[in-house]
Structure 1
Amino acid sequence: MATTVIDDGLPVAVPDSGSPLRTQRSGENRAGWLLSAPFIVFYLIFLIGPALYGILMSFFNTTSVKSGLGAAVGLANYREVLTSSAFWGSMGHTLWFTVLTTPPLVILAFVFAILAERIRRGRALVRFIFFAPFVMPVTSVTMIFGWLFTAQIGLFPKWLSDIGISPPNFLGTTGWSFITVALLTVWWTVGFNFVLFLAGLQEIPTEVYEAAAIDGSTPRKTMWSITMPLLRPTIVLVTMLQILASLQIFNQMYLMTGGGPGTSTRPVMEFIYDYGFSDYRAGYAAAATMVYFVIVLVVSLVWFVLRRQTRKTVGA
């Protein structure tokens, strides 16, 4: 049975605890929790659990070759990380890679999405061509680019030699190594941002463009006055997601250059890998991971604030 209460002078029916509506909602909640239970269990076991254990390890002299946490060292691992020139050097490499890859991955994806949206025939094929590299495994991608850029036997070095130009060592010098891996990353991952921009463009009502055309708006003016403002939330989303993805660079850099020559291209993730699995200092690597996690968390919070401000601006 439902009871009646007075709200602002008006009678409102409130279902009792035993009403069919509340019973139905309770049953739906239980069903939702039961369906989510397998994911929650795996999430706790394989993500939250290791993360908590990693925090615990960072306060101990844990090694990868012995069981147990080892001797407690307090904040010594964190002090060593924060004063390590090698850690901050790898942080600089990661930031430089982020600077090299984020602008082209955002701008090219946006331009490709605009062009693909305007194609009348073969639109599905064009979308497939841009997105196809993204589904390739990193090992295949690095093999392709290794075949293209490896000194002396690579396609590009041999081609440059044939036309009388001394080829640079694309994978053996610091500057060229960053550029080569950045090119690999742009070709490999631009399809993901391309799809996000396509989704954003499809959310813009066609009536808006039709009204602009009736008013005599030029394509350039339509782009800056309609498309860009309405696509601003997607631009912010893609930019911040790309920054976070570039900050986590590891696979392609490790497979293409191994962090070399020396450690001149070693990113933070490879720094953590080297200390944790090559030097067997798991506790120190865990502390470096936590420091880097805080840095990425700050970037994520900045993205969250910018996204909220963008939503308010668009809503206004």
Structure 2
Amino acid sequence: MPTAWRTTQRASDMAESYRRGHPGHALFILPYLTAFVVLLAFPLFWSIWLSLHKVDLFGPGRFVGLTNYTRVLADPVFLQAFRNTILFVALSVPTLVALGLFLALALNRTTRTTSFFRGLFFSSSVLSVTIVTLIWRFVFIPRDGLIPVIFEQLGLQPINFLSTSGWSLFAVGVATVWWCLGLPMMLFLAALQQIPADLYEAAALDNASPWRVLRRITLPSIARTIMLVTIIQIVMQFQLFGQAQLMTNGGPNGTSRPLVMYIYETGFIRWDVGKGAAASELLFLIILCAAMVQYIISTRKPEVRE
């Protein structure tokens, strides 16, 4: 009895110590805090400082206030890149969410075949952007690419996807969906495997149809994962850069130039660092607003009607 009492008392003292806090506990978060400040907080505030100055790569710069933001918003190239990015996100994010969910539902079984296909669909996600764009350039390249050959076999006129206005962004989107599909699929698979089997057994006893099971059990159970995947994809696809640069270089006539490419060209090719920083801050606000709107909509509780 005394031994049990001493053990209980020691545990109580330790819990009280943790509740009071101790300066030494901060050492556990110091590595993360250092990385957060150096890699995230400092670049963010430095970018804000740059966006308020007329600065290039060779001088200290001078304060100009919000002039850089006015220049960016009045730039037709920025507005075109903004429209391209919005269109790309509006088409690629729902496609990634829907295809990822479909594959997860189809492969949510414990067999060797499903394990093989899981690895197959996820394998593209581990490739670098250079490899991905090289593969898809071979697919879309005029005359000798896979798609033009298929068009010729079907008796159709081949389309030069990479250099035709209206199709170049589509080609970049196809490559991006193929590249990024693995992550949504795996997140949905992890969520599906956490759903209790009792719910499906009860639905089977009630002779519920597959569509009713999907609508009443599966989708509500993974609603938070759907929200998470959507927000992740919105943030990722707004940062489109490598695929567009390597596949189309923003052409033709800027019809596939995204915002990040505009920022890169403004800051590191034209050496207008202040204007590029202002554009990057606007992109940050756009991503933040899009993610917050999606979060608010997804977490809103439905109204209960009497």
TM-score (structure 2 length as normaliser): 0.88
- Corresponding position of 1:193: 184
- Corresponding position of 1:259: 250
Matches of 1:235 and 1:24, distance apart in 2:
36
Letter in 2 for 1:197: F
Residue segments in structure 1 that go unaligned for 5+ positions in a row: 1-14
- Corresponding position of 2:66: 75
- Corresponding position of 1:215: 206
CA distance change for structure 1 residues 20 and 206 in 2, over 3 Å: closer, same or farther? closer
Structure 1 position 112 matched with structure 2 position 103:
yes
CA contact 1:55–1:290 (8 Å) conserved in 2: yes
CA contact 2:108–2:189 (8 Å) conserved in 1: yes
Structure 1 position 61 matched with structure 2 position 50:
no
Matches of 2:110 and 2:100, distance apart in 1:
15
Specify the SS of the correspondent of 2:251: coil
- Corresponding position of 1:38: 31
Specify the SS of the correspondent of 2:215: helix
- Which one of 131, 136, 144 corresponds to residue 145 of structure 1? 136
After superposing the two structures, state which structure 1 stretch, 120-129 or 22-31, moved more: 22-31
CA contact 1:134–1:191 (8 Å) conserved in 2: yes
Matches of 2:285 and 2:194, distance apart in 1:
34
CA deviation after TM superposition for structure 1 residue 189, in Å: 0.7
Structure 1 position 23 matched with structure 2 position 17:
yes
- Which one of 61, 84, 98 corresponds to residue 75 of structure 2? 84
- Corresponding position of 1:11: none
Structure 1 position 127 matched with structure 2 position 123:
no
- Which one of 146, 150, 168 corresponds to residue 159 of structure 2? 168
Deviations 1:154-212 (A, max 9, x none): 23224434554331111001221111111111111111100111112112110000011
Deviations 1:225-269 (A, max 9, x none): 211222222222222322222222111111111100121211111
Letter in 1 for 2:42: G
Structure 1 position 205 matched with structure 2 position 199:
no
Matches of 2:148 and 2:24, distance apart in 1:
63
Matches of 2:117 and 2:14, distance apart in 1:
52
- Corresponding position of 2:261: 270
Structure 1 position 95 matched with structure 2 position 89:
no
CA contact 2:166–2:255 (8 Å) conserved in 1: no
CA contact 1:237–1:307 (8 Å) conserved in 2: no
CA deviation after TM superposition for structure 1 residue 26, in Å: 5.8
CA contact 1:62–1:282 (8 Å) conserved in 2: yes
Matches of 2:219 and 2:18, distance apart in 1:
45
CA contact 1:62–1:71 (8 Å) conserved in 2: yes
% identical equivalent positions: 35
CA deviation after TM superposition for structure 1 residue 135, in Å: 0.9
Matches of 1:29 and 1:185, distance apart in 2:
47
- Which one of 216, 220, 233 corresponds to residue 242 of structure 1? 233
Deviations 1:262-282 (A, max 9, x none): 212111111111100110000
TM-score (structure 1 length as normaliser): 0.85
CA contact 1:236–1:306 (8 Å) conserved in 2: no
- Corresponding position of 1:305: 296
CA contact 2:231–2:295 (8 Å) conserved in 1: no
CA deviation after TM superposition for structure 1 residue 119, in Å: 5.8
Letter in 2 for 1:89: Q
CA contact 2:122–2:183 (8 Å) conserved in 1: yes
Letter in 1 for 2:80: G
CA contact 1:200–1:234 (8 Å) conserved in 2: yes
Matches of 2:289 and 2:145, distance apart in 1:
41
CA distance change for structure 1 residues 99 and 71 in 2, over 3 Å: closer, same or farther? same
Matches of 1:163 and 1:19, distance apart in 2:
78
Number of residues of Structure 1 aligned to a counterpart in Structure 2: 293
Specify the SS of the correspondent of 1:275: helix
Specify the SS of the correspondent of 1:175: coil
- Corresponding position of 2:6: none
CA distance change for structure 1 residues 29 and 252 in 2, over 3 Å: closer, same or farther? farther
- Corresponding position of 2:3: none
- Corresponding position of 2:172: 181
CA distance change for structure 1 residues 202 and 189 in 2, over 3 Å: closer, same or farther? same
CA deviation after TM superposition for structure 1 residue 83, in Å: 2.0
CA deviation after TM superposition for structure 1 residue 24, in Å: 5.3
Structure 1 position 286 matched with structure 2 position 286:
no
